[in-house]
């Protein structure tokens, strides 16, 4: 088992893709999002806001129709028509146990494209279906469920007790990068390096903060899609950068007081400005 190394602000800054004069909205990266549901439309809004505030060329939100109304109400910039994307974010605000046949097909087609993909919450069970480089973003309960479904007898409390070990075990077992959420974020690549990231103040432990993180990571993957496809070993670094940026935005938004998940998303541009200024 390799050691865990601590991720730095300078490393995060290196993964912020600053647009150049030759860029357009497509060259900056397009993120496809299959998130939210009639039950959890808010998760779609939060993920979209996290991605949009991280900076990318375009977001195609292709999830639940009712959720799309809420997304558009908050962010008219979002495109709801299908088309080419450079990365996928799937599962936040979804429940795999109530997945319709139509959604299963839509998810299957997206995952078959072989693009960099983030799987969260209600799409974690599809981890074997993705043809491209994958990061999963479970919390303790979700990782316990995912591993138990594969025959490992593990409870949420076991993972809470030894998160670093379980993040690594899960990466090896599932063959994908695992970003395990908690007060410290552990990012493990299969048989690769382990990265430890400070998750920000405990005020970040609020409903929807994880949905925002999915958006942040999706945006970074969309804007670095080519590099990740050419060199999948950098995937863990992109995931660590997303977790670090998210934690720093949480810190800025909170300044010692309570926050809601949207506050964190809204603080992302300030966190990025600060990281770039320090780089």
Ligand X SMILES: Nc1ncnc2c1ncn2[C@@H]1O[C@H](COP(=O)(O)OP(=O)(O)O)[C@@H](O)[C@H]1O
Binding residues vs ligand NPW (CB under 6 A): 40, 42-43, 92-94, 121-122, 139, 141-142, 156, 207-208, 210-211
CB of 208 to ligand X, least distance (A): 5
CB of 206 to ligand NPW, least distance (A): 9
Interacting residues toward ligand X by CB under 6 A: 139, 181-183, 185, 199-200, 202, 204-205, 207-211, 213, 246
Residue 83 touches which of ligand X, ligand NPW, none (Cβ within 5-8 Å per kind): none
- Closest listed residue to residue 242, CA positions, set 267, 218, 217, 264: 217
Whether 99 contacts 39, CB under 8 Å: no
Q: Which residues are annotated as a binding site for (6S)-NADPHX?
A: 43, 93, 139, 211
Helices (H), the chain: 9-14, 41-54, 65-74, 101-112, 140-148, 156-161, 163-174, 209-223, 225-230, 235-254, 261-266, 268-278
CB of 157 to ligand X, least distance (A): 15
* Alpha-carbon distances, residue 28 vs 135, 157, 264 (angstroms): 21, 41, 23
State residue 186 phi and psi, 5-degree precision. Answer: -110, 125
CB of 177 to ligand X, least distance (A): 16
Using the minimum distance from each CB to ligand NPW, give the nearer residue, 74 or 139. 139
CB of 114 to ligand NPW, least distance (A): 25
Say how far apart CA 76 and CA 70 lie, in whole Å. Answer: 10
Residue 255 burial (CB < 10 Å; 0-12/13-18/19+)? exposed
Residue 176 touches which of ligand NPW, ligand X, none (Cβ within 5-8 Å per kind): none
Residue 94 touches which of ligand NPW, ligand X, none (Cβ within 5-8 Å per kind): ligand NPW
Q: Which residues are annotated as a binding site for AMP?
A: 181-185, 210
Using the minimum distance from each CB to ligand X, give the nearer residue, 139 or 227. 139
Q: Which residues are annotated as a binding site?
A: 43, 93, 139, 181-185, 210-211
**Sole residue written with tokens 């959604």:** 103
Phi-psi region of 246 (alpha: psi -120 to 50; beta: other; left: phi over 0): alpha
Using the minimum distance from each CB to ligand NPW, give the nearer residue, 124 or 268. 124
């Amino acid at each position: 088992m390799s050691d865990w190394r601590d991720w730095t602000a300078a490393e995060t800054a290196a993964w912020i893709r600053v647009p150049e004069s030759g860029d357009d909205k497509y060259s900056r990266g397009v993120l496809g999002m299959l998130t939210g549901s009639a039950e959890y439309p808010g998760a779609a809004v939060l993920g979209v806001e996290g991605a949009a505030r991280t900076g990318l060329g375009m977001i195609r939100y292709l999830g639940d129709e009712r959720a799309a109304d809420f997304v558009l109400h908050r962010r008219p910039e979002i495109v709801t028509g299908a088309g080419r994307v450079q990365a996928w974010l799937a599962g936040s605000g979804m429940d795999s146990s109530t997945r319709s046949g139509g959604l299963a097909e839509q998810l299957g087609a997206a995952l078959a494209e072989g693009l960099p993909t983030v799987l969260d919450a209600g799409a974690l069970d599809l981890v074997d279906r993705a043809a491209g480089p994958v990061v999963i973003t479970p919390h303790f309960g979700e990782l316990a469920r995912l591993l138990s479904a594969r025959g490992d007898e593990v409870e949420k409390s076991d993972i809470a007790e030894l998160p670093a070990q379980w993040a690594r075990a899960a990466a090896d077992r599932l063959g994908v990068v695992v970003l395990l959420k908690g007060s410290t974020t552990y990012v493990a690549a299969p048989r690769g390096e382990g990265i430890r990231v400070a998750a920000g103040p405990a005020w970040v432990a609020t409903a929807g903060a994880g949905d925002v993180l999915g958006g942040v990571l999706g945006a970074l993957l969309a804007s670095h899609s080519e590099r990740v496809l050419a060199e999948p070993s950098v995937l863990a670094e992109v995931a660590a950068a997303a977790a670090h940026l998210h934690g720093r935005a949480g810190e800025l938004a909170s300044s010692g007081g309570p926050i809601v998940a949207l506050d964190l998303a809204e603080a992302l541009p300030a966190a990025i400005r600060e990281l770039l200024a320090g780089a």
